Structure 1
């Protein structure tokens, strides 16, 4: 199978990262909730929406060393490659932040993938040539269609619901926090171990 995988909040896990970066910059009180939404809501409700926008660019462009992969992701990659599947990373993000220093966020994401040893020539890694960062959601979907993905894994229902994916493509909603229990039309799975087991059953 040809499997497409989103990057942000699907491969890259930002739990606690925005809180740590905001504390580093003195933007929030230490007592604030550690999740990204708490940081965003605090800054937005304080009339500092631009501070949050700039914080995103800082994290995505300069502080990716704070970020981890979701548990089981490396095991999934190794198992999928071992089963003969071709893996692609297809994501959308602007190349440079809207506000603040002009970090190359595409290069930072690739650097993160390399640091996590997910990219390379080995049998348990993803070919670096199979990594695509597009500027818009529409370009992301078009890339998945061009790659003829049989399966696409993403954390956002609205992405999976977009028109333009290959006909018959299976859509897996990665939902580790259980936010989308009522979502219809997608195969909702809550961990990379569950996705690996599911695709292995499908192969058998």
Structure 2
């Protein structure tokens, strides 16, 4: 099976990262809730929407050292590859931030994958040649189609609902916070999973 995997919020976990980076830059009070939405709402609500936009570029370009892979993802790579599956990372993001210094966010994401031991040579790593960062979501879907993936794993139902994916592709909605538990389409077009451990367990069952 050929499996496509999104990057941001699917492989890369930003829990607490926006809070830490915003504190570092003096943008928020220390007692603000640690989730990304609280940081965004605080800045937007105080008329500093551009500060949040620049903060995103700062994190994605300069502070990926604050970010960790979701628990179980590294183990998933080993499980999938031992089962003979072919893995591809297919994501979309602009190359440079909209505001602030022109960090290369594609290069930063690749460096994150290398530094965390997720891509490279070896039986438990993804081939770097199979990592694709596209500029738009349409180009992301087109890349998945070109790669003829049989399964795609993404944290956004609207991405998985886009036309252009290979026909009959298995769609897995990665939902670690269970925010889409009541989402229309889950259980029909989308298989919703809350962890990489659960996805690995599904894969192991299919092999047994």
TM-score, normalised relative to structure 1 = 0.99
Match in the other structure for 1:187: 191
Please report how far the alpha carbon of residue 153 of structure 1 lies from its aligned counterpart in structure 2 after TM superposition.
0.2
Please report how far the alpha carbon of residue 200 of structure 1 lies from its aligned counterpart in structure 2 after TM superposition.
2.5
TM-score, normalised relative to structure 2 = 0.97
1:31 alignment partner, SS class: coil
Please report how far the alpha carbon of residue 78 of structure 1 lies from its aligned counterpart in structure 2 after TM superposition.
0.8
2:114 alignment partner, SS class: helix
Match in the other structure for 1:111: 111
For structure 1, which runs of at least 5 residues remain unmatched after alignment?
none
Match in the other structure for 2:23: 23
Higher mean displacement: 194-203 or 100-109: 194-203
1:44 aligns with 2:44: yes
1:87 alignment partner, SS class: strand
Size of the aligned set, in residue pairs, is 204
- Two-structure CA RMSD over aligned residues (Å): 0.7
Please report how far the alpha carbon of residue 81 of structure 1 lies from its aligned counterpart in structure 2 after TM superposition.
0.8
Match in the other structure for 2:154: 154
Measured in 2, the distance between the counterparts of 1:114 and 1:168 equals 32
Measured in 2, the distance between the counterparts of 1:72 and 1:13 equals 12
Match in the other structure for 2:6: 6
Measured in 2, the distance between the counterparts of 1:118 and 1:152 equals 18
Alignment of 1:55-74 (within 5 A): 55-74=55-74
Measured in 1, the distance between the counterparts of 2:21 and 2:195 equals 26
Please report how far the alpha carbon of residue 201 of structure 1 lies from its aligned counterpart in structure 2 after TM superposition.
2.2
1:32 alignment partner, SS class: coil
1:202 aligns with 2:181: no
1:91 aligns with 2:95: no
For structure 2, which runs of at least 5 residues remain unmatched after alignment?
none
Please report how far the alpha carbon of residue 63 of structure 1 lies from its aligned counterpart in structure 2 after TM superposition.
0.2
